Structure 1
């Protein structure tokens, strides 16, 4: 099968330039070995990851704390997020947030925080000419945050609105993705979203935020990342000042492990006026970027369906051939904000992993019946067929692997494409910090070297070892009218013939019709199906 990769390296960042910048030093202070994540050893105070770029006109500082949402106490889910956002939004002991914004506007400086399951990252960016003026603000925010009650109230109100309203209403795709993690990690410290739960956010107080800052944002669990045009003296000062963070030894604990499903477990979220059925699947995956075998799964994943790329098997069969939705993709690690990011972002390293499929919303029975008179008698829309098709593709890859030709093309694509992740100093620094977290020196360089010596046999062996089409979790956000009929069809493994309008059906090749009949009767190993009211999620 010939495959066309329509993704061109931007002129501003040619491959040669990427390679040159990747050769810039990325070192751990005093030459010590990176932390081995499998053992989750505490970091030494204070690790430093450097990316010296003497020709750059900017300085980027990232402070990565090992204290993501998994450190939220029971009953106060969302506390780490509230703490990080309050630090960023509340100013320093010397300056209010408004005064800071007025000072940094002429500098075109910026700062912000991101929180994921295992880490919180603060990012500061400023032109080198303003570094000395900006640094007291950076130092003040991190060492002497203001914690103004009015700023905390604003942060908490926005966070409460997100978990109560935005998450359920703004994007069914993001909703199904977060619901999958809730199901996959249920009962563990990985279950809730970084923003928390409805009851958890309600329970958070300003005193909780201050205590979380003291106990988890300490000099014992921070890694400093710095990139750009900075002096050794500035870095020395930064390291010395960050020792002023709390000296508490944080009790981080171990990341929650994904539940192991016996068969296919489906949770359908019934929602009024949903425009389609948004599907996410997840199967526990025992490796991360820290393993050399990850390179083999990268090829398999890209062949099945790289994020937002139009060449994958899922995209080709579900969207291109059958016009069922806008896209269908595969993931072998968490992909932050897939609805908004075209390329993977740094700052979300995780040691608990899973293989996921994203099937963008497909039509419900009610939607199809309203559009096409000839479909007036259907009971279930396209979700059952789409899920069957996707898992049948995974099953086929497990049993038969991929061809040498497809392997060569996919590997060639990946060796160029991966370098697009690091087109700016800030992105390069982010991936170097993640590399350090995973116990690597430079993930992009190392994966490229592993891809170079990879064989098709390696890839097919990895697929057989790590993937499954029989034991996984599925979440589907769909309309109230579709939820119960879809649940019944899945529970009973009812045949699910594809529902085409007459005009589409007439133009289909016979090969597609033949494959449709096979897909419609492909047996899914469904063991459990539940329907959940949207009002009862993320409580």
Structure 2
């Protein structure tokens, strides 16, 4: 692999992963805007703008865009997160120039017509209603609220029906001009194309618009951890539980030990919680640990779902496992297995051009530089049993927040809420 960094005069950064002899090229454009960068009146606007960019633009109509993607044999997609909006394109290598031009037309030349804005409001409202019928989505969003109160990172990416209804053309254009600047983007390119060609083509098509010379005001303050419990009674079949606490931010030397603890505790079918909750007691179908990481904040959580009649036993089992960890720690055998799982996962991921490209981009977005895979693997290998046991004592002696969604009753609340020290 031959990875290089390119920066154009207009501020656009490009990560180039030269992989010869491949017939396809992967392109990812990462715009550094997500729900955390919105003002209150803009709630949901990062996601809404992403939708609108796939409508008619000044160069071509939506039908022409779809037709060209098919003609290029391409796969075009986009999605919005709390911190970044991603546009992805996979095409045959000899269509590289056409692919870059297509992305340029979509991202840099929107029309934002009133008719399309009004129509897309209906579409996004349906998406919001669909989200409200998803217990997994609800339990995670409420976990952010239970941990970080009203910080911008807590906001739902889709917005609300009320906020989406309030969007007008002036607000949309202002938001777009503020954030969709070439100096606020990072591009990843992977495939059989030279660095010189990459620089030449992007310099030609990803120019900087004069209207984008506006000061970006972005909320960069990290959230403060304020643990509490949030219960949402809904008529679902299962009760969803997400129980956790504050993790370690990127750059903290303890992140590797927490990651390995997470794998050992709930990272697969050999993990402690899977064996205890599913294999021994049959209480759940799935249980997993979560490391929810952002540029300046992180949460560690345990997620599972169970029937209403087994909620108490399930949660008591989690408490027992916590006490067991605090008392006995983990063994060298468990740590070695977690290391093998983690390193194998990294090695398999870098075999995929798209996953490798996302790793490179996310590394740059979070750390401002590329963290080599070998460095990451070396850090993992250096973690000792003592490191992980120190992390156990630190993490599991902290106050935990909890999010519960489903057909809950007063007994469930009494048992689960009793664990929250700062409710």
TM over 0.5: yes
Deviations 1:13-48 (CA, angstroms, capped at 9, x unpaired): xxxxxxxxxxx1333337xxxxxxxxxxxxx92222
After superposition, residues 7-22 of structure 1 pair within 5 angstroms as none
What is residue 303 of structure 2 aligned with on the other side? 358
Q: Aligned-pair distance for 1:240?
A: 4.9
From 197, 208, 220, the equivalent of 2:183 is 220
From 230, 238, 258, the equivalent of 1:276 is 238
**Inter-partner Cα distance in structure 2 for 1:190 and 1:183:** 12
- In 1, are the aligned partners of 2:12 and 2:182 still within 8 Å (CA)? yes
Q: 1:525 to 1:209 in 2, by over 3 A?
A: closer
Q: 1:150 to 1:112 in 2, by over 3 A?
A: farther
- In 2, are the aligned partners of 1:189 and 1:256 still within 8 Å (CA)? no
The higher radius of gyration belongs to: 1
**Inter-partner Cα distance in structure 2 for 1:319 and 1:72:** 41
What is residue 450 of structure 1 aligned with on the other side? 379
Q: In angstroms, what is the RMSD of aligned CA positions?
A: 2.3
Deviations 1:218-252 (CA, angstroms, capped at 9, x unpaired): 12211121111223223223035323242333221
What is residue 252 of structure 2 aligned with on the other side? 291
**Inter-partner Cα distance in structure 1 for 2:265 and 2:416:** 24
What is residue 414 of structure 2 aligned with on the other side? 488
From 381, 384, 390, the equivalent of 2:318 is 390
What is residue 52 of structure 2 aligned with on the other side? 86
Q: Aligned-pair distance for 1:421?
A: 2.6
What is residue 305 of structure 1 aligned with on the other side? 266
After superposition, residues 7-406 of structure 1 pair within 5 angstroms as 24-29=1-6, 45-87=11-53, 89-163=54-128, 165-169=129-133, 171-231=134-194, 232-245=196-209, 246-261=212-227, 265-271=228-234, 273-288=235-250, 290-306=251-267, 309-334=268-293, 349-359=294-304, 361-364=305-308, 381-406=309-334
Which blocks of at least 5 consecutive residues in structure 2 are unaligned? none
Q: Aligned-pair distance for 1:305?
A: 0.7
- In 2, are the aligned partners of 1:90 and 1:152 still within 8 Å (CA)? no
**Inter-partner Cα distance in structure 1 for 2:25 and 2:230:** 46
Q: 1:239 to 1:249 in 2, by over 3 A?
A: farther
Q: Aligned-pair distance for 1:256?
A: 4.1
Q: Aligned-pair distance for 1:199?
A: 2.0
- In 1, are the aligned partners of 2:100 and 2:201 still within 8 Å (CA)? no
Q: Aligned-pair distance for 1:392?
A: 3.1
Which blocks of at least 5 consecutive residues in structure 1 are unaligned? 1-23, 31-43, 335-348, 365-380, 494-523, 529-539
Q: 1:149 to 1:98 in 2, by over 3 A?
A: farther
Q: How many residues are matched?
A: 418
Q: Aligned-pair distance for 1:525?
A: 5.0
**Inter-partner Cα distance in structure 1 for 2:150 and 2:361:** 29
- In 1, are the aligned partners of 2:326 and 2:393 still within 8 Å (CA)? yes
Deviations 1:342-394 (CA, angstroms, capped at 9, x unpaired): xxxxxxx54321001101x2111xxxxxxxxxxxxxxxx22222122223323
**Inter-partner Cα distance in structure 1 for 2:50 and 2:404:** 31
**Inter-partner Cα distance in structure 2 for 1:141 and 1:218:** 14
- In 2, are the aligned partners of 1:46 and 1:219 still within 8 Å (CA)? yes
Q: Aligned-pair distance for 1:426?
A: 1.4
**Inter-partner Cα distance in structure 1 for 2:260 and 2:202:** 40
Deviations 1:122-145 (CA, angstroms, capped at 9, x unpaired): 222211122233332222112212
- In 2, are the aligned partners of 1:470 and 1:525 still within 8 Å (CA)? no
Q: Aligned-pair distance for 1:52?
A: 0.8
**Inter-partner Cα distance in structure 2 for 1:215 and 1:358:** 37
TM-score if structure 2 supplies the norm length? 0.92
**Inter-partner Cα distance in structure 2 for 1:297 and 1:527:** 23
Q: Aligned-pair distance for 1:437?
A: 1.8
The secondary structure found in structure 2 opposite 1:333 is: strand
Deviations 1:281-308 (CA, angstroms, capped at 9, x unpaired): 23112323x33432211211100011xx
